[in-house]
């Protein structure tokens, strides 16, 4: 037999639960009226300063000058670098996939279709594009990049289309479905990366340990000593195209209407299911393109090729309020943070390699918290007795 709780414990537990319920009833989360741009920026700036202060305290405890570290971080290692053009090239290699992924996620988020599968769709694009690069090594570099991009977009797009179909036909939870794609794709890439077999062309044959095969890197435009990769130019065109698409086309207007109210969109005669399928295919296809660009830039694939852009892209899109110019700017700033942290940490041997991740996490968390407090406030709701008392006092003032 199970031992019964003493009456005193039961009574105490009821009081605690009653207190929690009354506390929840007393306070409520309310959205603030629309704030000005400079006010939002001020909140975010305060959040960043707080995070940097915490990071400075940690650096000081390690006997490292916080001013020197932050100087190296925000200049992304350009100052005193014998090859600054290489630092800029590496910075752009990190910026391109984050920007494309954030733009693609914004498309689905505007429609309130919560595509959390950026990591998986990115891996699918990288893996399938690598098939073209490995199987056809003699192709013209520009033709190879084109074929890699098309294959990656089709494969990732079909994945997104399948999830959207499940949503429109069976009302499947798209958050869970896209989330599972992340792990499925990761385990598939891990399987190919760890399984040595004659059929597995993804691995090098001249290595005893499993290693992914290298292939031809992306073509670039040579500007003096600086190598501008083709993906940078394509990404800028994509950003401009999505901005125009959402702002000036009928299809972009349909996405906005569905995001505001699906019932309104249906009442207006819009085919909500078809628009959902089309938008999700486009979103996933663009993320797959980011995967192909990254694979082509590095000339190899790996299980950590995403650099977490699928997750960071969600933060970028949300912080930018799904604004395309805002996403371009936020992606740029967060890439400076990520790339700068790695560059600065490499100059200080006493710092653990994970300190850069710690500092990034602190800053991103602080920015999200600042964004929350900039847009929401906690208000206290008066109880019925307090309302009666206030009404009674008002009545007394009127009578006097």
Residue 363 in any domain: the answer is no
Structural domain includes residue 393: no
Residues in Cβ contact with 130 at an 8 Å cutoff, skipping those fewer than 6 apart: 148, 202, 212, 215, 295, 301
The answer to whether residue 386 is domain-embedded is no
Query: Is 242 a member of any domain?
Result: yes
Q: Which two tokens stand for residue 171?
A: 């009302």
The answer to whether position 30 is within a domain reads no
CB-based burial of residue 95 (10 Å sphere; 0-12 exposed, 13-18 middle, 19+ buried)? buried
Tell me whether residue 115 is in a domain: yes
Query: Does the residue 391 lie in any domain?
Result: no
Give the range of the structural domain holding residue 212, as residue numbers without chain letter. 93-334
Residues contacting residue 129 through CB under 8 Å, at least 6 positions apart: 148, 149, 151, 152, 288, 291, 292, 295, 296
Say what the alpha-carbon torsion angle 248, 251, 255, 256 is, to the nearest 10 degrees: 30
Nearest to 103 by CA among 288, 259, 297, 328: 328
DSSP character at residue 400:
-
Pairing of strands 226-229, 220-223: antiparallel
Pairing verdict, β 27-31 and 220-223: unpaired
> Nearest Cα to 258, choosing from 273, 243, 248, 239?
273
Q: What does each of the 400 residues of the chain score in pLDDT, given as a tens digit?
A: 445 555 555 555 555 555 545 544 566 777 777 767 677 778 888 888 888 899 899 888 888 888 888 888 888 877 777 777 888 888 999 999 999 999 999 999 999 999 999 999 999 999 999 999 999 888 899 999 999 999 999 999 999 999 999 999 999 999 999 999 999 999 999 999 888 888 888 888 777 777 788 887 888 888 878 888 999 999 999 999 999 999 999 999 999 999 988 888 889 889 999 999 999 999 999 999 999 999 999 888 888 899 889 999 998 998 888 999 999 998 998 898 888 887 887 778 777 767 777 887 888 888 888 878 877 777 766 555 555 665 666 566 666 6
Nearest to 98 by CA among 193, 200, 239, 211: 239
Cα angle 185, 188, 194; round to 5: 140
Residue 380 belongs to a domain: no
Classify the phi-psi angles of 348: left when phi > 0, otherwise alpha if psi is within -120 to 50, otherwise beta.
beta
């Amino acid at each position: 037999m199970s031992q019964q709780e003493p009456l005193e414990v039961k009574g105490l537990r009821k009081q605690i639960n009653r207190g929690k319920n009354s506390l929840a009833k007393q306070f409520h989360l309310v959205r603030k009226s629309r704030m000005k741009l400079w006010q939002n920026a001020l909140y975010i700036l305060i959040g960043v300063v707080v995070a940097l202060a915490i990071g400075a305290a940690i650096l000081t405890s390690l006997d490292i000058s916080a001013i020197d570290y932050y100087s190296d971080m925000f200049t992304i290692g350009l100052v005193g670098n014998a090859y600054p053009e290489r630092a800029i090239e590496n910075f752009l290699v990190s910026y391109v996939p984050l920007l494309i992924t954030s733009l693609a996620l914004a498309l689905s988020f505007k429609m309130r279709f919560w595509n959390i599968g950026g990591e998986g769709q990115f891996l699918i694009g990288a893996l399938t594009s690598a098939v073209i690069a490995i199987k056809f090594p003699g192709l013209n570099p520009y033709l190879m990049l084109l074929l890699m991009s098309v294959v990656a977009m089709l494969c990732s797009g079909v994945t997104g289309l399948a999830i959207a179909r499940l949503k429109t036909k069976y009302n499947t939870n798209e958050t869970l479905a896209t989330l599972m794609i992340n792990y499925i794709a990761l385990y598939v890439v891990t399987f190919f990366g760890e399984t040595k077999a004659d059929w597995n062309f993804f691995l090098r044959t001249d290595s005893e340990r499993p290693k992914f095969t290298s292939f031809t890197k992306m073509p670039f435009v040579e500007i003096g000593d600086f190598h501008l990769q083709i993906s940078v130019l394509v990404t800028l065109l994509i950003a401009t195209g999505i901005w125009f698409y959402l702002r000036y086309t009928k299809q972009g207007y349909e996405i906005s209407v569905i995001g505001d109210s699906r019932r309104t969109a249906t009442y207006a005669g819009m085919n909500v299911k078809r628009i959902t399928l089309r938008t999700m295919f486009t979103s996933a296809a663009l993320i797959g393109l980011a995967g192909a660009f990254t694979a082509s830039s590095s000339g190899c694939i790996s299980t950590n090729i995403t650099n977490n852009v699928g997750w960071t892209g969600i933060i970028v899109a949300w912080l930018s309020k799904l604004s395309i110019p805002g996403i371009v700017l936020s992606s740029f700033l967060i890439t400076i943070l990520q790339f700068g942290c790695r560059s600065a940490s490499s100059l200080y041997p006493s710092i653990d390699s994970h300190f850069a991740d710690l500092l990034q996490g602190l800053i991103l968390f602080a920015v999200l918290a600042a964004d929350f407090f900039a847009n929401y406030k906690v208000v206290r709701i008066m109880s019925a007795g307090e309302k009666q008392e206030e009404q009674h006092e008002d009545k007394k003032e009127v009578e006097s």
